Amino acid sequence: MVDAAMTEFGNVDVLVNNAGVGTAVPATRETPEQFRSVVDINLNGSYWAAQACGRVMQRGSSIVNISSVLGLTTAGLPQAAYSASKAAIHSYTQSLRFQLEKTGVEVIELMPPAVKTDLAADIAEGEVFTLITTDELVKQSFASLKVGALEIRPGQAKLLAFMRRLAPNFINGQVWKASKKLVPAGV
Protein backbone atom coordinates (compact mmCIF):
# COMPACT_ATOMS: atom_id res chain seq x y z
CA MET A 1 0.00 0.00 0.00
CA VAL A 2 2.75 2.44 0.96
CA ASP A 3 4.83 1.53 -2.10
CA ALA A 4 1.79 2.10 -4.33
CA ALA A 5 1.13 5.51 -2.75
CA MET A 6 4.77 6.50 -3.15
CA THR A 7 4.80 5.38 -6.78
CA GLU A 8 1.53 7.16 -7.60
CA PHE A 9 1.90 10.34 -5.50
CA GLY A 10 5.51 10.56 -4.34
CA ASN A 11 4.53 11.00 -0.69
CA VAL A 12 2.06 10.03 1.99
CA ASP A 13 0.64 13.35 3.17
CA VAL A 14 -1.97 12.09 5.64
CA LEU A 15 -2.51 8.80 7.41
CA VAL A 16 -5.82 8.37 9.22
CA ASN A 17 -5.89 5.37 11.54
CA ASN A 18 -9.61 4.83 11.97
CA ALA A 19 -9.77 1.25 13.17
CA GLY A 20 -12.59 0.60 15.58
CA VAL A 21 -14.18 -2.72 16.38
CA GLY A 22 -15.47 -4.05 19.66
CA THR A 23 -17.37 -6.88 21.20
CA ALA A 24 -20.39 -6.24 23.39
CA VAL A 25 -19.20 -8.91 25.77
CA PRO A 26 -18.47 -8.26 29.45
CA ALA A 27 -14.79 -8.49 30.36
CA THR A 28 -15.23 -11.68 32.37
CA ARG A 29 -16.92 -13.45 29.45
CA GLU A 30 -14.78 -12.20 26.60
CA THR A 31 -12.61 -14.95 25.16
CA PRO A 32 -8.89 -14.42 24.64
CA GLU A 33 -9.55 -14.62 20.88
CA GLN A 34 -12.19 -11.86 21.05
CA PHE A 35 -9.92 -9.63 23.12
CA ARG A 36 -6.93 -10.29 20.88
CA SER A 37 -8.93 -9.57 17.73
CA VAL A 38 -10.09 -6.18 19.03
CA VAL A 39 -6.57 -5.22 20.13
CA ASP A 40 -5.06 -6.49 16.86
CA ILE A 41 -7.39 -4.32 14.79
CA ASN A 42 -7.71 -1.20 16.94
CA LEU A 43 -4.22 -0.90 18.39
CA ASN A 44 -1.90 -3.07 16.34
CA GLY A 45 -3.49 -1.98 13.06
CA SER A 46 -2.80 1.65 13.91
CA TYR A 47 0.74 0.78 14.98
CA TRP A 48 1.55 -1.10 11.76
CA ALA A 49 0.09 1.63 9.55
CA ALA A 50 2.07 4.32 11.40
CA GLN A 51 5.23 2.22 11.11
CA ALA A 52 4.78 1.72 7.38
CA CYS A 53 3.80 5.30 6.53
CA GLY A 54 5.84 7.13 9.14
CA ARG A 55 9.09 6.01 7.52
CA VAL A 56 8.26 7.78 4.24
CA MET A 57 6.32 10.79 5.51
CA GLN A 58 7.96 14.17 5.10
CA ARG A 59 7.82 17.45 6.99
CA GLY A 60 4.26 18.77 6.81
CA SER A 61 2.64 15.32 6.72
CA SER A 62 0.16 14.24 9.37
CA ILE A 63 -0.80 11.08 11.23
CA VAL A 64 -4.32 11.17 12.65
CA ASN A 65 -5.14 8.46 15.17
CA ILE A 66 -8.78 7.96 16.08
CA SER A 67 -9.14 6.95 19.70
CA SER A 68 -12.30 7.39 21.78
CA VAL A 69 -13.45 9.14 24.90
CA LEU A 70 -14.05 5.58 26.15
CA GLY A 71 -10.29 5.28 26.37
CA LEU A 72 -10.44 7.77 29.25
CA THR A 73 -13.70 6.91 30.95
CA THR A 74 -15.12 3.43 30.59
CA ALA A 75 -16.82 2.57 33.87
CA GLY A 76 -18.10 -0.88 33.13
CA LEU A 77 -19.26 -0.62 29.56
CA PRO A 78 -19.38 -4.08 27.96
CA GLN A 79 -16.56 -3.06 25.65
CA ALA A 80 -13.51 -3.69 27.84
CA ALA A 81 -11.18 -4.61 24.97
CA TYR A 82 -12.38 -1.66 22.89
CA SER A 83 -11.85 0.78 25.76
CA ALA A 84 -8.45 -0.69 26.60
CA SER A 85 -7.33 -0.52 22.97
CA LYS A 86 -8.47 3.09 22.65
CA ALA A 87 -6.68 4.02 25.91
CA ALA A 88 -3.58 2.45 24.40
CA ILE A 89 -4.07 4.46 21.18
CA HIS A 90 -4.21 7.63 23.32
CA SER A 91 -0.91 6.75 25.00
CA TYR A 92 0.71 5.59 21.75
CA THR A 93 -0.33 8.81 19.99
CA GLN A 94 1.26 10.94 22.70
CA SER A 95 4.51 8.96 22.45
CA LEU A 96 4.49 9.14 18.66
CA ARG A 97 3.91 12.91 18.79
CA PHE A 98 6.99 13.45 20.95
CA GLN A 99 9.15 11.05 18.98
CA LEU A 100 8.27 12.59 15.60
CA GLU A 101 8.46 16.17 16.84
CA LYS A 102 11.76 16.98 15.09
CA THR A 103 10.70 15.34 11.81
CA GLY A 104 7.92 17.84 11.15
CA VAL A 105 5.32 15.06 10.93
CA GLU A 106 2.30 16.21 12.89
CA VAL A 107 0.58 13.61 15.08
CA ILE A 108 -3.07 14.33 15.87
CA GLU A 109 -5.55 12.45 18.02
CA LEU A 110 -9.28 12.56 17.42
CA MET A 111 -11.18 11.38 20.48
CA PRO A 112 -14.85 11.19 19.45
CA PRO A 113 -17.71 10.96 21.91
CA ALA A 114 -20.71 8.72 21.31
CA VAL A 115 -21.74 9.27 17.69
CA LYS A 116 -25.12 8.44 16.16
CA THR A 117 -24.08 5.33 14.25
CA ASP A 118 -24.95 1.64 14.34
CA LEU A 119 -22.18 1.18 16.93
CA ALA A 120 -24.06 3.43 19.36
CA ALA A 121 -27.52 1.99 18.72
CA ASP A 122 -27.76 0.59 22.28
CA ILE A 123 -26.71 3.81 24.00
CA ALA A 124 -29.62 5.70 25.50
CA GLU A 125 -29.33 9.45 25.34
CA GLY A 126 -30.23 11.29 28.47
CA GLU A 127 -28.56 11.92 31.79
CA VAL A 128 -24.98 11.19 30.77
CA PHE A 129 -24.70 10.57 27.03
CA THR A 130 -25.45 13.03 24.28
CA LEU A 131 -24.87 11.51 20.87
CA ILE A 132 -23.69 13.74 18.05
CA THR A 133 -24.24 13.19 14.35
CA THR A 134 -21.40 12.28 12.02
CA ASP A 135 -21.88 15.66 10.31
CA GLU A 136 -21.42 17.45 13.63
CA LEU A 137 -18.38 15.30 14.43
CA VAL A 138 -16.76 16.24 11.11
CA LYS A 139 -17.66 19.93 11.50
CA GLN A 140 -16.22 20.19 15.02
CA SER A 141 -13.15 18.13 14.12
CA PHE A 142 -12.27 20.30 11.13
CA ALA A 143 -12.80 23.46 13.18
CA SER A 144 -10.25 22.12 15.71
CA LEU A 145 -7.84 21.14 12.93
CA LYS A 146 -8.02 24.67 11.50
CA VAL A 147 -6.77 26.14 14.79
CA GLY A 148 -3.96 23.59 15.04
CA ALA A 149 -5.32 21.37 17.81
CA LEU A 150 -3.35 18.17 18.28
CA GLU A 151 -5.91 16.56 20.60
CA ILE A 152 -9.41 16.93 19.24
CA ARG A 153 -12.32 16.14 21.56
CA PRO A 154 -15.55 17.05 19.82
CA GLY A 155 -18.92 17.32 21.53
CA GLN A 156 -19.25 15.71 24.91
CA ALA A 157 -15.75 14.20 24.73
CA LYS A 158 -14.25 17.54 25.80
CA LEU A 159 -16.45 17.74 28.90
CA LEU A 160 -15.98 14.07 29.84
CA ALA A 161 -12.19 14.34 29.52
CA PHE A 162 -12.15 17.50 31.65
CA MET A 163 -14.47 16.07 34.30
CA ARG A 164 -12.47 12.83 34.37
CA ARG A 165 -9.47 14.85 35.50
CA LEU A 166 -11.38 16.76 38.17
CA ALA A 167 -13.71 14.10 39.51
CA PRO A 168 -12.82 10.67 38.13
CA ASN A 169 -14.99 8.68 40.53
CA PHE A 170 -17.99 10.89 39.88
CA ILE A 171 -17.67 10.66 36.09
CA ASN A 172 -17.04 6.92 36.15
CA GLY A 173 -20.11 6.54 38.37
CA GLN A 174 -22.25 8.57 35.98
CA VAL A 175 -21.05 6.64 32.95
CA TRP A 176 -21.67 3.36 34.79
CA LYS A 177 -25.15 4.50 35.82
CA ALA A 178 -26.03 5.28 32.21
CA SER A 179 -24.50 2.13 30.78
CA LYS A 180 -24.96 -0.64 33.34
CA LYS A 181 -28.11 -1.90 31.64
CA LEU A 182 -25.86 -2.82 28.70
CA VAL A 183 -23.90 -5.25 30.90
CA PRO A 184 -25.64 -8.59 31.53
CA ALA A 185 -26.63 -9.33 35.13
CA GLY A 186 -24.37 -11.56 37.16
CA VAL A 187 -21.13 -10.39 35.59
The catalytic residues are 82
CA-closest candidate to residue 80, choices 115, 39, 41, 123:
39
As a whole number of angstroms, the distance between CA 90 and CA 112 comes to 12
**Rounded to an integer, what distance in angstroms lies between the CA atom of residue 153 and that of residue 24?**
24
Report the side by side order of strands in the sheet with 62-66: 14-17, 62-66, 106-110, 151-152
Residues 6+ apart with CB under 8 A from 17: 45, 46, 49, 50, 63, 64, 65, 66, 89
Count of C-beta atoms within a 10 Å radius of residue 68: 26
Contacts (Cβ under 8 Å, ≥6 apart) of 74: 80, 83, 87, 172, 175
- Is residue 90 within 8 Å of residue 109, measured between CB atoms? yes
Q: Are strands 62-66 and 151-152 parallel, antiparallel or unpaired?
A: unpaired
